[in-house]
Amino acid sequence: MRRSILACLMLSVVLGGEAKAADRPNILFIFTDDHCQQALSAYDDSRIITPNMDRIAKEGMRFDRCYVTNGICGPSRAVIQTGKYSHLNGFIRNGNKFDGTQQTFPKLLQHAGYQTAVVGKWHLGEHMAPQGYDYSEVLIGQGPYYNPPMLKNGEKTKHTGYTTDIITDLALDWLKDARDDSKPFMLMYQHKAPHRNWMPGPKYLNWLDDVEVAEPETLFDDYSGRTSAASQQTMTVSRHLNDRDLKLSGYGTMNEEQKAKWNEAYGAKNEAFRKAKPNMSEKEIIKWKYQRYVKDYLRCVKSVDDGIGRVLDYLDEAGLADNTVVIYSSDQGWYLGEHGWFDKRWMYEESLKTPLLVRWPGRIKPGSTQDAIVSNLDFAETFLDIAGFRVPSDMQGRSIVDLFDGTTPGDWRKSFYYHYYENPGAHNVARHYGVTNGQYKLLHLYALGGERRNDWELFDLEKDPNELTSVWGHPDYKDVQSMLEKELASLREEFQVPKDTQIGRPPKKKPARKPHQNGKAK
């Protein structure tokens, strides 16, 4: 129906603000859990090809040094919501409760006229709808790989199928059916995969069966050359993968049909391993575990990549691609056997770095790369900047929009502060904080078991990219060490890091009340 010119003019006066809002770019934030650069072919094509993730890089920008502030799931998510380090947003370690009443970027985007939604993994508190979102359908806690119960706007729902595919379906359903055309949107499309215990979907159960995945150089690391922390951890491929991780037992939450397919895929392979094992050397068993573990991880990534392809295709079909900024990232990096490990947590390169790909047609040159140090600390600020919203002064990162033209402003950060707190905790990784400028890295490990409670490591990343030999205290590095010590102190001050080394410790269990002598509790 054609409106008269006058009616159109009147409408534009009434809806002036909103019409302007509709011109602002949409934001599609695609996020995974524990996906490292080593398993994303835009960064490293030695193990897997991820054509759909690569498409974002080819049509946009690949960031080569995106560091996380605290390499663990929940804390990384809290940093992204708030643009603040863990000690200020209060979510220091997994198991903490996120204070959803604080300032977060989705709330600010809502104020700026955006429609906000999150689907998939949330992992910041499980019993209510995430605050700041017009729509949410999220996993409860970690959520299972099959048939996940979820919370839709806080109400329990139940799904049948493979979780990665379901999360993609939910993202597409929202884009197709629930999106408000009169507003720009910000959708967080967040996968559980490829988090432990790496359960592949039905489509990829046998994918890579005939392939030998490349081993990292440091699979048989002996942890000499570093402090005692590296050998105290409990995250080795050799000793700490359990039978469920290795698919030698367990079905998780599968139904009978799913179990049957699973048995078809793993049954014979497991039988062959059990038969061969008595005659295998320790080294051969580690190699077998590595192949089993890494293949399952890559299979999980493959389903995520398929899902991303479906969503990118929909943006094209719906005519949304030109005005939608697409961002791909993960909550931190991961060890695919490097140092003999799985898991994350360390400030060493593989888990410190996370993938970051950004596509913004017309603003980012296709196929460009950026070497500047960026961080998950910058995501909130970046989203607000894209939306044309002022970044609050108490956020601690900086919008990376200024880097999208391929240049780096002269006052961009030259160094980066990291802090991991979760000890005591899973995998016994020592508490540590540190600083890196990309060329050198200084770590202070301060909750070590054994004689030395505190220790330091210094790495020359150009000479020793695998971080095998600390040069802390070495006379050749006296000046570098002193420069980094000063930088570390200055960053800790700038970011208001408390000196309290007990911060984030799980609360001590209260001793059971003893009855008073006369039998009454005091």
Which region, judged by CB under 5 A, interacts with Ca ion, from 30-38, 77-85, 220-228, 411-419?
30-38
Give me the half-sphere count of Cα atoms (radius 13 Å) on the Cβ side of residue 90.
10
Of positions 30, 34, 71, 401, contacts Ca ion by CB under 5 A: 34
- Specify which residues 440 forms β-bridges with: 460
The interface region with Ca ion, picked from 29-37, 123-131, 146-154, 240-248 by CB under 5 A, is 29-37
Closest approach, Cβ 332 to Ca ion, in A, equals 5
Q: How far is the CB of 72 from Ca ion (least distance, A)?
A: 7
Q: Name the residue among 352, 395, 350, 345 with its Cα closest to residue 373.
A: 352
**Single-letter residue type at 90:** G
Of 346, 311, 310, 353, residue with least CA distance to 332: 353
The answer to whether 221 touches 228, Cβ cutoff 8 Å, is no
Of the ranges 56-64, 150-158, 265-273, 326-334, which one interacts with Ca ion (CB under 5 A)? 326-334
Judged by CB, which is closer to Ca ion: 377, or 491? 377
Residue number with CB closer to Ca ion (135 or 335):
335
Q: Rounded to the nearest whole angstrom, what is the least distance from the CB of residue 32 to Ca ion in the complex?
A: 8
Give me the least distance between CB of 77 and Ca ion, in Å please: 8
- Under rule CB under 5 A, which residues in 284-303 are in contact with Ca ion? none
Q: How far is the CB of 34 from Ca ion (least distance, A)?
A: 4
Which range touches Ca ion (CB under 5 A), out of 19-27, 66-74, 178-186, 305-313?
66-74
Q: What are phi and psi of 40, to 5 degrees?
A: -140, 115
Residues 504-517 as b or e (16 or more Cβ within 10 Å = b): bbeeeeeeeeeeee
- Cα distance between residue 198 and residue 338, in whole Å: 17
Residue 342 or 477: which CB sits closer to Ca ion? 342
- Residue 149 phi/psi, 5° resolution? -75, 145
Alpha helices in 318-360 (DSSP H): 349-352
Give 149's strand partners. Answer: 158
Distance CA 440, CA 224 (A): 19
How far apart (Å, rounded) are the C-alpha atoms in residues 36 and 336?
A: 8
CA-wise closest residue to 345 among 460, 459, 467, 431:
431
The residue among 34 and 137 lying less far from Ca ion, judged by its C-beta, is 34
Name the minimum Å distance from CB 127 to Ca ion.
21
d(CA 32, CA 376): 13
Token pair in block for residue 435: 């600083």
- CB under 5 A: which stretch of 23-31, 72-80, 274-282, 294-302 binds Ca ion? 72-80
DSSP 202-224: GGGSSTTTT-PPPPPTTTT---T
DSSP 83: S
Nearer to Ca ion, 35 or 413 (CB): 35
d(CA 302, CA 191): 12
Q: How far is the CB of 80 from Ca ion (least distance, A)?
A: 12
Nearer to Ca ion, 334 or 360 (CB): 334
Query: According to the binding rule CB under 5 A, does residue 33 interact with Ca ion?
Result: yes
* 331 near Ca ion, rule: CB under 5 A: yes
Q: How many residues belong to the chain?
A: 522
45 CB-near residues (< 8 Å, 6+ apart): none
Identify which of residues 73 and 92 has a Cβ nearer to Ca ion in the complex.
73
Closest distance between Ca ion and the C-beta of residue 383, in Å?
20
Cα–chain center distance at 71: 8
Residue 73 is a binding residue for Ca ion (CB under 5 A) = yes
- Quick one: 73 or 265, whose CB is closer to Ca ion? 73
Q: Give the nearer residue to Ca ion in terms of CB position, either 33 or 296.
A: 33
The answer to whether 343 contacts Ca ion (rule: CB under 5 A) is no
Output 26 or 76, the one with its CB closest to Ca ion.
76
Nearer to Ca ion, 73 or 373 (CB): 73
Binding segment for Ca ion among 6-14, 118-126, 325-333, 424-432 (CB under 5 A)? 325-333
The reply on whether position 350 binds Ca ion by CB under 5 A is no
Instruction: Return the residues of window 97-156 that contact Ca ion according to CB under 5 A.
Output: none
User: Total number of residues binding Ca ion (CB under 5 A)?
Assistant: 4
Contact between 509 and 101 under an 8 Å Cβ cutoff? The reply is no
Specify the stretch interacting with Ca ion by CB under 5 A; choose among 65-73, 96-104, 279-287, 493-501. 65-73
Is the Cα torsion angle 63, 69, 74, 78 positive or negative in sign? negative
Q: How far is the CB of 121 from Ca ion (least distance, A)?
A: 9
Of the candidate spans 71-79, 97-105, 133-141, 160-168, the one that interacts with Ca ion by CB under 5 A turns out to be: 71-79
Residues forming contacts to Ca ion in the complex (CB under 5 A) are: 33-34, 73, 331
